[in-house]
Amino acid sequence: MNKMQAKKRIDELRKETNYHAKKYYDDDEPEISDFEYDILMNELKNLEKQYPEFITSDSLTQKVGGTVKKGFKKVEHEVPLQSLQDIFNFDELYSFNERMKKSAEEFGKDLKYVVETKIDGLSVALKYENGKLVEGATRGNGQIGEDVTNNIKTIKTIPHTLKEEINITVRGEIFISKEDFEKLNEEQEVLDAPLFANARNAAAGSLRQLDSKITEKRPLDIYLFNVQKIEGKTFTSHYEELNYLESLGFNVNPVRIYCNNIDEVIKAINKIGDDREKLTFGIDGAVVKVDDLELREKIGTTFKTPKWAIAYKYPPEKKETILKDIVCQVGRTGQITPMAILEPVKVAGSTISKTTLHNEDFIIEKDLKIGDHVVIQKAGDVIPEIVEVIKNKRTGEEKEFKMPSTCPVCGGPAIREEGESATRCIGIECPAKRLRNIVHFVSKEGMNIDGLGYNIVETLLEKGLIKDISDIYFLTNEDIKTLKKNGAKFASNLVTAIENSKQNGLDKLICALGIRHVGTKTAKTLARKYKTIDDLQSASLESLAMTDDVGEIMAQSIYDFFRQEQTTDLINKLKQANVNMGIQEENKLDNRFEGMTFVLTGSLENYTRDKASEIIENYGGKTSSSVSKKTTYVLAGEEAGSKLTKAQSLGVQIITEEQFVSMIQ
């Protein structure tokens, strides 16, 4: 590679690493694995080392990734929260050891190490004054972080008061355990919310919530791994510090191995690698630190990293096996996912006998056939994945796989819509979707049954008190009061809420049914046009497609939904329960907005979007999600985005919240 080629590649790597660092640190939405990111950073470091004239201050080799999220107060760290230099093989570890040995000999010190797990989470600093927690901050860019004190205080394993009245700042890693992460994603799936990419992503997103009530609901945990600053006490060794932190009442990294020499370090790294499947928390490597604190001071740091510590990243392990079969599983949203059944093989410390194939496109892209010899890979705690087909081992007896046209669980239609990669069961009584369908049915957007949340629905199903949506309307006080200690009042309130929900308007029922693509706004439109559930159920595809705000794809989805035997069965059961099946008289104040269409963008100071939309509809107007020449007004709040820009380009009249208030008074 010549000088010009090197500069071009450095520029490419800089752009790529900055993009992925933003997705990882700021957006909490990583698009590539940690290992893939580390490889890019390693290539950039090596090229910059070879061509130092191309190093610039904006390169991530010169700083820590991460910025302060809008809405959080900035915190300047008294002691920088540095990152670690990564290594990928034992040759690099031996080179590190030689540097440390040289320094230890120069300063007349014994060289000992501590090896710890590198926990896959979000780094924070906790500040205590007189033993009381006064501040919690994210790492940010290492110098400036985010004040997340209120969120930190919701984490049960972080003490608010220490066992000694001491001034101390400590550093730790916020994480979500493997088991809790699986449960969290299960709940996200039921609520039809986006799944978290990994446990680190979930932990970071949960801690960096502007609303601490959301953080409190997330299963966050912490392990401490460093004393940043302390008053009135001195220590000689890092290992001693960690034991002291434990005595104060902190959760300290449970995997910390004292090592007398580099051979013991390698044994410790290998042991952590062998045992990482048994750990309750995710890791993305092992950290090797010089134990002697005075020696650390003499060795020093760079602007970004300490010279006395290093992070060993476990390389992804690849193994060959046989794809014995492909079977389909139905998720809680109805998504049908093909699963590879593999000849069991041990990879990265665990025996792998099956793995997800994601969707039909993945199978086509990899050209997978049942009976193929395949290569699977598992990097650290990442889910194993088929990365390659060994086509030269094909015998001709391999079989093609086709996605099913009916749900393997309930036999209902399995549909893949145009432009989507997923195939879905659309049966409303499918047992696989039961929890998700019921939770949606009773939600605020649906029938709005107060007190009947995710956990209660899950318990009702587990106890066999309900089997489908309609069973909710036949629950008794006796059924419900067993769910909670002293649950008589809870049961009485819930039975009342269930009974009251029977009187909801048709729009609430339509939305509650969970028809794909149909939300609250479209449900209101359909209710106004068809008046009763029977008329909607018998509507033709052409009639549906001609409805305002209903396109061809949505019309087809509604039409298909109401042609199913499962849908008819459920509606008949709801009729037997005396659930209202018709439109209610709308509470229109007057028709001042009749014939007008509003688009809302940005955040309003005095109204939620839903409340503003309700007001517009009560005055005879309509709201739309997109701006066009037919739009009458764009109501623009704070941080209005592309809709405001489009309105300006089309000459659509833009009004402020103050003007909107004047229009409705």
Indicate which residues carry an active-site annotation: 118
Place of tokens 């959301």: 214
Reduced to 3 states, what is the DSSP secondary structure of residue 245?
helix
φ, ψ for residue 223 (rounded to 5)?
-125, 130
Give me the helix-helix angle, 178-190 and 434-442, nearest 10°.
Answer: 60
Q: Is 55 exposed, middle or buried (0-12, 13-18, 19+ CB in 10 A)?
A: middle
Question: Could you tell me which residues come within 8 angstroms of residue 660 by beta carbon, excluding any fewer than 6 positions away?
Answer: 612, 635
The 10 Å Cβ neighbour count of residue 111 is: 19
Place of tokens 């380009």: 649
Count of residues in the chain = 665
C-alpha 367: how far from chain center: 30
The residues that bridge with 193 in the sheet, in sequence order, are none
Instruction: Report the distance separating Cα 332 and Cα 186, nearest Å.
Output: 8
DSSP symbol at 407: -
Q: Identify residue 424 by its one-letter amino acid code.
A: R
**Contact yes or no for 411/315 (Cβ under 8 A):** no
Q: Identify residue 612 by its one-letter amino acid code.
A: A
φ, ψ for residue 257 (rounded to 5)?
-115, 120
Q: Kindly list the distances between the CA atom of residue 252 and the CA atoms of 137, 243, 566, 655, in Å, as whole numbers in the listed order.
A: 18, 8, 53, 55
Question: Could you tell me which residues come within 8 angstroms of residue 16 by beta carbon, excluding any fewer than 6 positions away?
Answer: 40
Nearest to 509 by CA among 465, 571, 601: 571
Query: Three-state secondary structure along 528-552?
Result: HHHCEHHHHHCCCHHHHHCCCCCCH
| H helix and E strand count, the chain | 24, 22
Instruction: Report the distance separating Cα 457 and Cα 304, nearest Å.
Output: 49
φ, ψ for residue 180 (rounded to 5)?
-65, -35
The 10 Å Cβ neighbour count of residue 403 is: 14
**Contact yes or no for 624/598 (Cβ under 8 A):** yes
Instruction: Report the distance separating Cα 312 and Cα 424, nearest Å.
Output: 42
